[in-house]
Every structure is written in C-alpha cells, then in structure tokens.
Structure 1
Amino acid sequence: MFSQDVQTFLAVASAGSLSAAARQLNVAPMQVSRRIAALEEELGVRLFHRTTRSLTLTAEGEAFVPYARAMADAEAGARAELNPASGAASGVLRMTAPSGFGQSVVLPMLPGLLEANPELRIDLDVSDRQVDIVGQGLDLALRIAPLEDSELVAKKIAANPRLICASPAYLEKHGHPATLGGLDQHRCIQLNSVGRWPLVVDGKPIRKRIEGVITTSSVEAARTAAVQGLGLALLSYWDVFRQLADNSLVRVRLNDAAMEDLSVWAVIPSRRYVPNRVKVFLGALQQELSDLVERCGPPYGDQTPVPRLPE
C-alpha cells in the first residue's frame, strides 16, 4: 500500500488538487484523501497545506518529492526488468535538449515513441542554456557542449562534429574558401554562444575570429540564414544533416584546418534507479540516429574523422 500512497502523493503534487489527482488516477477523491493521510501518518510529517480553496506542498512535502519520484521509478524499473512484457514506458519523462538537436531530431521522433508507449508523457525543455538537472528534477539532459558536471553520469550517444556549411548559391557567387585565412574574405553567420570559431590546426585547438554579417542566438536562425545564401555558418552535424542530405547546404572543407569534434551526450543524475522511461527513450533515440545516418549519411561524410582535441 505504501507504493500506492507514494504514487498518489506525486499525482496530487503534480495536479495541485485532490479532485484533479483523483481524475488522473481514476479513483474517488475520498480515496486520494485517505491515501495522503496514511502517507503523512507513516512519515510523521504533514505533506500538504490544505484550505477550502487551495492545496500546496509544505516544506517537508517539497523535500519528499525527489525521494517519492525515486521510489516510483525504482518500482517501475523493477517491474520492467522482472516482466519484460510490461516494459513499455510510462509516466512523465522530464528532459532538456539543445534547441537545434531538439528541433531536428528529438521532436520528429516523438510521435512514434508516444504511439509505442501510450502511457508515456514528455516534458521537454528545448533550450541552449545549461540546465541544473538535479535542481530542476529532470530525468535526462541531452548535451552537445563539453561536459562540466563531473558528479553526473554521461553516456556518449553519437558523434556530432562541427562543420562549416553554406548554400550552393552562396558558394557559386562567392567561391569556396580553401584555407583558414580564406575565411576572412567571406561573409559569416555567427552564433552568440560561439564568439570565435573553434578549429583544429596541426592537432592543436585554435579559436578563429570571424566577422559576422549576421549574429544570432538561435541555431535555427543561423541555419535558415545559411540556406538563404547569406553566408558561411559553423554548426554541428545534427543541426544541418537534413539540409546536407537535400543539398540545400554544402559542407565546406579547409585544407589547413579541421573542425572541432563534438558528441551528443545523454546525462542522467545517477546510475541508480534509472527510470524505465529514460531507458526506453534513449533506446529509441539511438535507433533514430542510426536510421538517420543510414538515410542521410554519417557525420564525417567521406572525410577522415576529426582527431580528438588534447585532454
């Protein structure tokens, strides 16, 4: 019964009222009230402030939320491990992804994922800001930038090298830059987050200053500007793989410099009690990326893989 009480607590905390939680759980409101009362008695604390008009978490209730989620996730994970037939994902997957990768890869795969897992819900933050996944109570973060959170668990999902690209119309009009110095004669599209373009020369990382004819904070805007023929853009493979496949963008290679090697990383708070919904999502994501590479080509094309930057 304790696990049912915990599930009820999470439903009430999420819904904000007993009646809404009852509808979500398909039980009577009185049953919800009794389960919350039983849980409070078991824990010896009051979890909610109740008035005739509102219901809010107490400080103890706020503190109990992550533990309740961990218990619910552990139970769901055990059921999935012990009974593979019941391994479909369920519950709310709270996650964050970079804007470009989220728009080009994650969102298009969600219809199939949700159809295969009808009890699954997605709470997706598509943003280029680095989110504190522990503090925000997230299950998963997909990240492109080099990782800084040493206490988190990270798994490499796919290669995602940066590349310089431009539209065929731009290159026909302005020519192909062949060297690092040749970039100075070209119009460039600059992301606010990448003030200088990171490149690799003779195995060493450098930062190339460029003059942006357009500067934007949005990967989608930079990609659109490049497709429209407004200049060269430095983006990562999974930001532009569709445009490379349909030839609306062309990869530009330099003779004396290689591109920085990045990866797509899945970051989770802990190895313990990884929710089944996270495992199911990551399995679907890896399959999606494998299918896309087969249809659109590998990240490096016919180029020798970019050497890793020095540790």
Structure 2
Amino acid sequence: MNLQDVSLFLVITETRSLTQAAKRQGISAMAVSRRLASLEQALGTRLLQRTTRSVSLTQEGMEFIPYARALIDAETGARALFSPSTQGASGLLRITAPSGFGRRNILPLVPELLSENPKLSIDLQLSEDVVDIVGRGIDVAIRIAPLKDSTLIARKITGNPRIICASPAYLTAKGKPVTVEDLTQHNCLRLSSVPQWILERDGDILRVGVEGRFRSDNVEGVREMCVLGLGIAQLTRWDVMKEIQEGTLVEIELSDARPQDLSVWAVLPTTRYLPLRVSTFIDKLKFSLR
C-alpha cells in the first residue's frame, strides 16, 4: 500500500471531488483516479462511489478513514522523531466539545498549547450536538454523558457529576428544596435539550419533570440566569465550579435523591495509533482539571 495514495484518499474525502483533490495536489484528475484505483486494488475493496460530478464514501471507505489517518500520522510521527528541528506536537488537532465546557476549560488551554508546540494548529468546534467524529475527521471529542455501547474508544478525564444549585438571593427569597417533591414548588431553569432532571435513588435512575419560566439551548444561558437569582438549575460540577467557589451559587443536596454521576470523556476514533498532538491535548486537559 502506497502511503501517498492513502494521503490522497484523505484529501478526496475532504474535498468530495476528484477534480478539487487534483487541484490541491497539483496533479491531473486522471492521475487522481488512477491512484485511487491502485489503493482500492491494494485493499481489495471499493472506497468511493464516483459520478461525473461528485464522489461519496462507501461503507468500507468510511471504516477505512481512521486507519488512513493513523497511517499518515504514524509516518509523520516517525519522521518527526528523527528530525532535530521538530519541537513538540505538530499538525492540525481537531477537537469537538460541549460549548459551555469548551469555553471554560478548553479555550484557556489553547494559548499554552500553541506556545509549547510551534508546529501545532487547533480547530476547536463547540457544539451541544454529538457529531460523527469519524466522518468529520475529528481527532478527539470531549463528551459529558454516560456513554452508550460504541465502536469508539473513550478515556476518562475526570468525574463531573450533575449538581443542583441556586443563588443565595433566590434561596433567601424562596427557600431551599429538601426533597424531590419540593422541586415542583420552584422555578427550575433547564437546558432545552434536557426536558427532565436526572437523579439517582438507591442505585436507580430517577427522571424528574420540572417546570420553569426559562430554558436555553446552552449552559451559559442557564448558569447566568441562575446566578441572577431567577431560579434553580441542574448543571454539571465543572459548569458551575467557579461560581460555587466564589459563593455566587450554592449547591443544593436533597434528602431523598442525589444528582447523577457523570464524567468527562475523551472519545477517540481509534487507538491503533494515537498522534502526539492528541495525547498532548488530553494530558494537558487532564492536568488542568485535577
């Protein structure tokens, strides 16, 4: 298998066009087609469906993407290992993370990561959506949720339980809930994507329907309204750690249930070869959250 053909395959998957891939590589479209055919012959399977206007990945092509990236990363890492001019991690690090967690805990790491690794570039995508990291070419996805069965690889970064909290002013005016039933008497602020608050009782998951006059599609909106005394919120510990330490929010413990335990996970498309840029980022994030 020719690694240059593997690299060309990745360019095609990014451009979704043989013509555009040819322009980027400075070769003819016919040469691109021949080299792609050579790679498919070496692998014994079709990677792309071609039409006169576009190309699309076959299932085999989708499955080959993480291995193709691992092959190219391994070659780059091997060359860098023996290059005296190389310093630190290199290449483009693609990260996706929840917006609230990313702004508070990943963005502050970017200047130091770039300073310590002069040949590193970072593409950080902040979104509440769970994206297809293989199809999008993501190196690492930060997720805060119980993970379902998956072919992806997950590494735990740190614990991040949900907590219920409110501002001191709200609790002074409205009182502190003591039981789950008490929550029905309060203005509960929530994320639009989380219609119920999730708690645990005697090892069982308890989904509690809550009502309130404000909801938002991002953590920042809920947290800000909570700090302003508009109501009670359920967020994760790392979402409100700063406010609790400063005293602008107070953690609420119920007598008959507790919020669900979650963790911060680094989800990877494969661990056959973990690029230095990925392991460097994971180590930096883990250290910052200790």
Relative to the length of structure 1, the TM-score reads 0.74
Could you say what secondary structure the match of 1:135 adopts?
helix
Could you say what secondary structure the match of 2:282 adopts?
helix
Counterpart residue type for residue 97 of structure 1: A
Residues 84-124 of structure 1, C-alpha deviation per residue, up to 9 Å, x if partnerless? 99461111111211122111111111111111112111122
Match of 1:217 in 2: 217
Match of 1:274 in 2: 274
Match of 1:115 in 2: 115
Q: 1:85 to 1:235 in 2, by over 3 A?
A: farther
Match of 1:76 in 2: 76
After superposition, the CA RMSD in angstroms is 3.6
2:254 is aligned with 1:287: no
Spell out structure 1 runs of 4+ moving beyond 4 A. Answer: 2-19, 35-45, 56-60, 79-87
Q: Which runs of 5+ in 1 are unaligned?
A: 23-28, 50-55, 291-311
**Counterpart-to-counterpart distance in 1, 2:277 and 2:253:** 40
Offset at residue 129 of structure 1 (A): 1.2
Q: 1:12 to 1:137 in 2, by over 3 A?
A: closer
**Counterpart-to-counterpart distance in 2, 1:82 and 1:155:** 29
Residues 166-223 of structure 1, C-alpha deviation per residue, up to 9 Å, x if partnerless? 1121112112112222212211102122211111123322111111221222111111
Q: 1:12 to 1:153 in 2, by over 3 A?
A: closer
Q: 1:269 to 1:17 in 2, by over 3 A?
A: closer
Match of 1:195 in 2: 195
Q: 1:113 to 1:172 in 2, by over 3 A?
A: same
**Counterpart-to-counterpart distance in 1, 2:113 and 2:199:** 36
The number of equivalent residue pairs is 277
Would you say the 8 A contact 1:191–1:218 is kept in 2?
yes
Offset at residue 69 of structure 1 (A): 2.7
**Counterpart-to-counterpart distance in 1, 2:171 and 2:57:** 60
Q: Which runs of 5+ in 2 are unaligned?
A: 42-47
How do 1:43-122 residues align onto structure 2 when only pairs under 5 Å count?
Answer: 43=39, 66=65, 68-79=68-79, 86=86, 88-122=88-122
2:163 is aligned with 1:144: no
Would you say the 8 A contact 2:87–2:118 is kept in 1?
no
Would you say the 8 A contact 1:166–1:250 is kept in 2?
yes
Would you say the 8 A contact 2:9–2:36 is kept in 1?
no
**Counterpart-to-counterpart distance in 2, 1:119 and 1:5:** 24
Counterpart residue type for residue 153 of structure 1: I
Could you say what secondary structure the match of 1:207 adopts?
strand
Counterpart residue type for residue 286 of structure 2: Q
Q: 1:116 to 1:36 in 2, by over 3 A?
A: farther
**Counterpart-to-counterpart distance in 2, 1:109 and 1:99:** 15
How do 1:132-211 residues align onto structure 2 when only pairs under 5 Å count?
Answer: 132-211=132-211
